[in-house]
Amino acid sequence: MIDRYKWYEIVLMYAGMAVFLFFVLAPFIEGFLVSLKPLSQLFSTPYSFIPKNGSFDAYFQMWTSVPMLGMHIFNSFFISSVVTLIVVVIVVPAAYAFARFQFAGSGLMLGGFLAVNMFSGAVLLIPLFRLMRQLGLLNTYWAMIVPGAAFLIPSSIWLLRTYMMRIPRELDEAAWVDGASRLYTLRRVILPLAMPGIVVVAIMTFIGAYAQQFIFALTFNSRTEFMPLPVGLFAFFGKQEVQWNELMAASFVGILPVMIVIVFLQRYLVAGLTAGAVKQ
């Protein structure tokens, strides 16, 4: 920085940061502490923030209270993974087409994809429900995967297109001069160079797919064995006396793998956001 911060400015900034982070992290801290408390302590007054006789018991009990918990966690990962795969396979060629070619209606189509972003799955739920019923997909994984992917494709196209436009055109042209076909150029020249961008799209899609699992899964699937974690927990804990410590424990187990992946890949993520979002 050009000029140094004065000491009180630094104090002020750390104080601001502390308040900001408290707001962001409070539910997680509280959720984690709750998962350590025995149930009796949760329902006693006065309220205590720090668990007394804290233990990891809830992390063991939850597997028997929610018999399908393992299945729910697996479902969440399975659904998000398949959505990510579909989105990447569809988006890579589309983004390349928009990044390199101008053809009749290309601008309109690009705008059309952007417009899809504006409609949420919740608005289109009724016809999607009918469509899923007609296709016989209700109560299958596909009823959650197919609509889930649709709403993640457009933003991914935009992001990857921006990324691909930064790869110099001369590289494609050189490959053509050397006699490579267009498809070969895409596969052997562009794909490797676009890999960091594709990784970002994949991570963002995975997070997005995991996040939007609620409404489609709630509406298009009523079978416990296909429920992803959020809906599985919602359905289970809606029915009976909520075992809050176990609910929190199950939540943490379900999100831990995502968090670990993100911590390792956060460098790509911030870079990707900078590349894609701002330059749009």
Partner 1 sequence: MTGTRSASLFALALLAPALIYILIIVAYPLFDTIVLSFTNAALRPTYDFVGWANYQRIFGAGNFTEVILRTFIWTFFSVATKMIIGTLGATLLNAAIPGQTLFRILTMPPWIVPMAIGIFMWGWMYNGQFGMISGLLQNFGIISKPWPILAQGNSAFWATIVTDVWIGVPMVTIYLLAAMQSIPKDLYEAAWTDGAGRFYRFRRITLPLMLPAMLTMSLLSLIATFNSFDIIWILTQGGPSGSTTTMIIDTYKTAMGSRKYGEGAARAVVICIFVSIFCIVYFRAVRKLSQGEAK
Spatial distance between the Cα atoms of 172 and 82, rounded to a whole number of angstroms = 31
Nearest of 231, 234, 162 to residue 200 by alpha carbon: 162
Q: Which of 85, 109, 167, 235 binds partner 1 (CB under 8 A)?
A: 109
- Selected range binding partner 1 among 28-36, 54-62, 160-168, 188-196, rule: CB under 8 A: 28-36
**H-helix segments, 48-105:** 57-65, 69-100
Q: Which of 178, 179, 241, 278 binds partner 1 (CB under 8 A)?
A: 278
Q: Which of 68, 97, 167, 193 binds partner 1 (CB under 8 A)?
A: 97
CB neighbours of residue 201 within 10 Å: 26
Residue 195 in the binding site for partner 1 (CB under 8 A): no
Cβ proximity to partner 1: between 195 and 211 the closer is 211
Site for partner 1 in 146-165 (CB under 8 A): 146-147, 149-151, 153-154, 157
Q: Which residues of 35-71 are buried (b: 16+ CB within 10 A; e: fewer)?
A: bbbeeebbeeeeeeeebeeeeebbbeebeebbebbeb
Cβ proximity to partner 1: between 122 and 195 the closer is 122
Q: Which of 77, 96, 163, 226 binds partner 1 (CB under 8 A)?
A: 96
Residue type, 225: E
8 Å CB contact between 164 and 194? yes
Residue 231 in the binding site for partner 1 (CB under 8 A): yes
Residue 171 in the binding site for partner 1 (CB under 8 A): no
Nearest of 15, 58, 42 to residue 252 by alpha carbon: 58
Q: Which of 59, 63, 65, 125 binds partner 1 (CB under 8 A)?
A: 125
Site for partner 1 in 63-82 (CB under 8 A): 76
Residue 136 in the binding site for partner 1 (CB under 8 A): no
